[in-house]
Structure 1
Amino acid sequence: MSDERQPPPPERDQQRAMTEGEGTPVGAVPATPPRRGLMRSGMVVSSMTMLSRVLGLVRDVVIATLLGAGQGADAFFVAFKIPNFMRRLFAEGAFNQAFVPVLSEYSTTRSKQEVRELLDAVSGSLTMVLAFITALAMLAAPWLTWLFAPGFSRDPAKLAMTADMLRLTFPYLLLISLTAFSGSVLNTWNRFAIPAFTPVLLNLSLIGAAVLLTPMMDEPAMALAWGVLIAGAAQLLFQVPFLAQLGLMPRPWPNFAHEGVKRILRLMTPALFGVSVSQINLLLDTILASLLAAGSVSWLYYSDRLVELPLGVFGVAIGTVILPALSRRHAEQSREHFSQMLDWALRAVLLLGLPAALALTLLAEPLLITLFHYGAMTDNDIVMAAMSLRAYALGLVAFMLIKVLAPGFFARQDTKTPVKVGIIAMAANMVFNLILIWPLAHAGLALATALSAFLNAGMLAWLLRRQGVLNFQPGWGRFAMQLGGGCVAMGVALWLLSPEWHHWLDWNLLQRGLRMAMLVVVGGVVYFAWLGVTGMRVRHFRLKG
């Protein structure tokens, strides 16, 4: 039986009054806004993320046109992937999943002064650690490059160019981690739009660098490395005024002895594996791809970028809004509502993830041609990238499920269970890689990542069920039939309306864009029309956070 049915203690009454806007007692944390619907918050994050992802695709079109899948492109993608991988591991991964539950607990049960002391200690400690790591990585850039892309050692010029780029891109880790810290604070206070919009600045910086700095560089790809560094500073500075507006601007001062910092560090250690196993798998793909034919790293990159669009817009967005909400429910010991939120998140992910995965599979070549087949991008690059895109698309739903299932553990400050699952999934991924890389080359690496993601998601769901945390709500049978029918109807429509992919090669940018837009609109209309006809309504997905 949940504690909601028992008389709440006086201090919880006081805190409830604060969060519902009935006044803020002296010394209490800043009153959080009234709880908003999860669907509304998710739509805010999704819309901002969609803008970012669309600009990201524009960015990738510019990069593909400028660099294609050649030596400069491979070097930049590795130089950017290393700090970007560590960003997802430390900033958006382990740190975010450990920091948000602790911060939510402080904001629910502690005083304003204690919250500020936590923010000061965490920001100072994070800055000190990451500044040391950044300095060390810049000094060790050639060795890091060899470690993450050993195949580049066959070409000393390519290895040296990648190391030079890495010295420019690695400080991005420090800057974006502090940005993630700021975003976690804003998300905890239900300011989702600002952190979700912030990545737009990265894409604008890279587009600007490609257009404006490329003519000044002997190596065009080096301009993009400068763009990454500029983007890190811009994203951090963008969020500062909004923290100040909330009265939560930290005064960084390292304090590893602070109780909250010690708890976060304890939670972070296993979370490094548990939440970011898919990123580790992608990095393993890069290492092995560097040993394959030239262009393999770029083919995986371009296909991964297309999968990242729905993953970020839907999966990451839903995971972002439910983590603070789940953390608050856990702090309030509201077990029933906690389970309802997880069930809601699973349905939302499947509602949007299944048709997205199907569309990527059916329209692989047309999508790649429309976005990237310009300049240095060849027909063979499209064929190769389409192979890995279909393999990644098979795992899209699993990638999304991990984003919403992992918070079910982290919100309860349980990071040990996901790390066990993560280690098993990583081991499986390595086995799948060795089995599939020989017959399928780079596409085998993508398929191995998808299979290990399903293993990861399945184990997380099973453990949540076994712990009694995830209890499926009524109506899943009908829901599954509605989704299945909608996907079939959409698939038939796309198959009938899309010509053979070779025809797309003969069209110009406008023709490709218009035809692709038509397919997207028709596919979406058919899918959601089926759901509407079979009785699904927007109100079925409304749930308070």
Structure 2
Amino acid sequence: MSLLRSAATISSLTFMSRITGLVRDILIARSFGAGPLSDAFWVAFRIPNLLRRLFAEGAFSQAFVPILGEVRSTGTDKDVRQLLDRVALALTSVLMLITALGMVAAPWVVSAMASGMTAVDKQTEFHAAIWMTRTMFPYILCMSLVALASGILNTWSRFAIPAFTPILLNISMILASVFAAPYFDPPIYALAVGVIIGGIAQLSVQWIALARLGLMPRYSFRVIQAWTDPLVKRVVKQMLPAILGVSVAQISLLINTNIATWLQAGSVTWLSFADRLMEFPTALLGVALGTVLLPKLSAAYAKKQHEQYQSLLDWGLRLVIMLGIPAALGLALLADGLVATLFHYGAFNAEDVAQTKLAVMAYAVGLLALLAIKILAPAFYARQDIKTPVRIAIMVLILTQLFNVIFVPRYAHAGLALSIGLGASINALCLLYLLHKRHIYHPQSGWLRFILRLIPALAVMTSILLVADHHIDWVALAHVPWQRALYLLLTVGICALSYGFMLILFGFRLRDFTKARP
């Protein structure tokens, strides 16, 4: 399977995930709006998500996948099986303890995450956040084991199942909000139950896929033996700086959530919905390419194929630029239409649209950088160098908080989003600079010609977006939602067709991106 085909498979399934995620958020916005209880849910949902990214999808994958690829390339089937069994046992044992502690300490966890909710006049949402945090905390255990399964499946080039399973979480939350909400008091509690059911569904599907490959981990009570295994120690040793690196980003998210709880009611919800729109391009392109490239880069590094290593990076960066810039322009210039069409129903009013739009526009500033990081960081992880991205991330964390001091007093919640975008831009530039300085990556020939051929296509697309933004009052079309949705689809379709036509006109061909050049 070619790299582009692998990435396209992941992107198409991820697109389905994001579509169902949008449906989920539309229903949540329509039913619960942007208020104290919806803020409480997003705070509670962010806590297990934070730990999931900290221990599972981020740090664990970065440490585990390169070592698994190395053992698969140089060891025996028995070595691979032993690694899987012992890593699964070690991961499960520590996460069961963390889950239990988190459920007991939920009041303190919520206080740390959202100190603004501890105020006397916010006790209703504070206690709601505690209840939902306790209910959703086991989600981290499910998703950590899902991350283990995803790492194994991706290493064996089975990309479809890991990309598909997030759809199950969205479906579970949709069903909970539609059918289960009337049976809970307050109704928003149904979403927390939907999260847990979705986590169990994701885990079940991925472990069935492992069983079919004959790779499902076998559990035992030999916990000490698992923790003392040399390869498990290597994974843990690699995870420690990776946890620090991922935690830097999550600490930044924690700080931003905390700040948002002190701002106007609804700020956490506005940022969450804006983040949902940002996840479309970052997941469809950035995550897909990063998922495909990490095992390929790890294999090229292990085999000392330096030319192939650089070619893979060059291929990924060109795709990011070709697709990331129009995505950023679309988010920035069509933010009003996107937010109004998707969320402006029921309890989500025009003011909510305006505030969410500001956050989307601010996030768009850093979209290209966020996508580039998904390509540049794996270049270090594949070499089992996690310390370098960590050092950069720590510096960026400090700078992001300085940006918050500057922008939040002026732009409120949108200032938080802008700070993240600017921080991501600095992060990406530092990663690229060090890759070049250490002779890990040198841009291949043709970059100037590549950029010059993009400019006319970007200019045409920008013109169309500006015309649409000037002539269509998206909020005023609330009484004719189908007409508004049609206008949005036409605008996006015309932009995509014109951009693609201009790319072809100026010499781009699909075969140029079907594989990385050797």
TM-score > 0.5, shorter chain as reference? yes
Aligned to 1:166: 133
Deviation per residue, 1:27-81 (Å, 9 max, x gap): xxxxxxxxx3111100000000000001100000000001110111101000001
Deviation at 1:512, TM superposition (A): 1.5
Separation in 2 of the partners of 1:376 and 1:500? 26
Structure-2 residue corresponding to 1:380: 351
Amino acid in structure 2 at the alignment position of 1:173? I
2:497 to 525, 539, 544: 525
Measure, in 1, the Cα distance between the counterparts of 2:483 and 2:410.
Answer: 36
Residues 94 and 272, structure 1, Cα contact 8 Å, conserved in 2: yes
Q: Distance in 1 between matches of 2:381 and 2:453?
A: 31
Q: Deviations over 1:420-468 (max 9, x none)?
A: 0110011111111111111111111110000100111111111111111
**1:120 and 2:93 correspond:** no
Alignment partners' CA distance in 1, 2:45 and 2:472: 31
What is the letter of the counterpart of residue 413 of structure 1?
Answer: Q
- Give the corresponding residue for 1:398: 369
Rounded to whole Å, the distance in 1 between the matches of 2:207 and 2:267 is: 39
CA distance in 1, matches of 2:239, 2:133: 25
Are the structure 2 counterparts of residues 276 and 191 from structure 1 closer, same or farther at C-alpha, using a change threshold of 3 Å? farther
| 1:268 matches 2:233 | no
2:260 corresponds to: 289
Distance 1:415 1:470 in 2: 17
Cα distance between partner residues in 2 of 1:463 and 1:229: 41
Q: Given the alignment of the two structures, is residue 541 of structure 1 paired with residue 482 of structure 2, yes or no?
A: no
1:338 to 300, 309, 321: 309
Residue equivalent to 1:416: 387
| Distance across 1 between alignment mates of 2:459 and 2:250 | 31
Could you tell me how far apart the structure 1 residues matched to 2:171 and 2:472 are?
31
Q: Distance in 1 between matches of 2:456 and 2:187?
A: 48
Kindly provide the amino acid, as one letter, of the partner of residue 339 in structure 1: Q
Amino acid at match of 2:407: L
1:83 to 30, 48, 59: 48
SS at match of 2:262: coil
Do residues 250 (structure 1) and 224 (structure 2) align?
A: no
- TM-score, normalised with respect to structure 1: 0.92
Tell me by how many angstroms 1:485 deviates: 2.1
Q: Deviations over 1:309-337 (max 9, x none)?
A: 11111111110100011111111111111
Q: What residue number does 2:414 align with?
A: 443
- 1:142 aligns with 107
Q: Which residue of 2 aligns with 1:199?
A: 166
Residue number in structure 2 paired with 1:516: 488
Matched, 1:302 2:273: yes
Residue 323 (structure 1) aligned with residue 294 (structure 2)? yes
Shift, 1:240, TM fit: 1.5
Q: Which digits, 9 at most, give the CA deviation of each residue in 1:157-184, with x for residues without a partner?
A: 2111100000011110000110110011
1:188 maps to 155
1:47 pairs, out of 7, 12, 16, with 12
Partners of 2:245 and 2:303 lie apart in 1 by 25
Instruction: Output the TM-score relative to the length of structure 2.
Output: 0.96
Q: 1:492 matched to which residue of 2?
A: 463
For the residues of structure 2 that align with 1:352 and 1:86, how far apart are their CA atoms?
A: 30
Asked whether 1:217 is paired with 2:184, we answer yes
Equivalent pair of 1:327/1:412 in contact (CA under 8 Å): yes
Secondary structure in 1 matching 2:211: helix
Q: Decide which of 37, 40, 49 is 2:2's aligned counterpart.
A: 37
Q: Any conservation in 2 of the 1:125–1:256 contact (CA below 8 Å)?
A: yes
**Aligned pair 1:58/2:23, yes or no?**
yes
Task: Tell me which moved more, 251-260 or 444-453.
Answer: 251-260
Aligned residues: 510
Deviation per residue, 1:188-225 (Å, 9 max, x gap): 00000000001000100000100111010111110000
**Which residue of the partner structure matches residue 353 of structure 1?**
324
Q: Which residue number in structure 2 is paired with residue 103 of structure 1?
A: 68
Instruction: Determine the C-alpha separation between the residues in 1 that align with 2:319 and 2:111.
Output: 41
CA RMSD of aligned residues (A): 1.3
Counterpart residue identity of residue 193, structure 1: A
* Paired position in structure 2 for 1:69: 34
Structure 1 position 542, deviation (Å):
2.1
SS in 2 for 1:333: coil
Q: What fraction of aligned residue pairs are identical, expressed as a percent?
A: 46
Distance 1:146 1:500 in 2: 46
Q: Measured at CA, do residues 348 and 275 of structure 1 come closer, stay the same or move farther in structure 2, by a change above 3 Å?
A: farther
Find out whether 1:153 has 2:85 as its counterpart.
no
Q: Distance in 2 between matches of 1:268 and 1:358?
A: 36
Alpha-carbon distance change, 491 to 279 in structure 1, aligned in 2, over 3 angstroms: farther
Q: Is the 8 A contact 2:53 2:246 kept in 1?
A: no
Output the amino acid matched with 2:394. I
Q: Quick one: which amino acid aligns to residue 366 of structure 1?
A: G
Distance of aligned partners of 1:503 and 1:382 in 2 relative to their CA distance in 1, 3 Å threshold? closer
Q: 1:230 aligns with which of 186, 193, 197?
A: 197
Consecutive unaligned residues in structure 1, runs of 5 or more:
1-35
Stretch moving more, 535-544 or 375-384? 535-544
| Bigger mean CA offset, 490-499 vs 141-150 | 490-499
Unpaired segments ≥5 residues, structure 2: none
The question of whether the paired residues in 2 share the 8 Å contact of 1:183 and 1:239 is answered with: yes
Q: Using the TM superposition, give the Cα deviation of residue 497 of structure 1 relative to its aligned residue in structure 2, in angstroms.
A: 3.5
Task: Give the structure with the larger helix fraction.
Answer: 2
Which of the numbers 414, 418, 433 marks the counterpart of 2:404?
Answer: 433
2:328 and 2:364 in contact (8 A); partners too: yes
Corresponding residue SS for 2:477: coil
- Over 3 Å counting, the alpha-carbon distance change for 1:514 and 1:114 in structure 2 is same
Q: Tell me which residue corresponds to 2:338.
A: 367
Q: Is the 8 A contact 1:498 1:519 kept in 2?
A: no
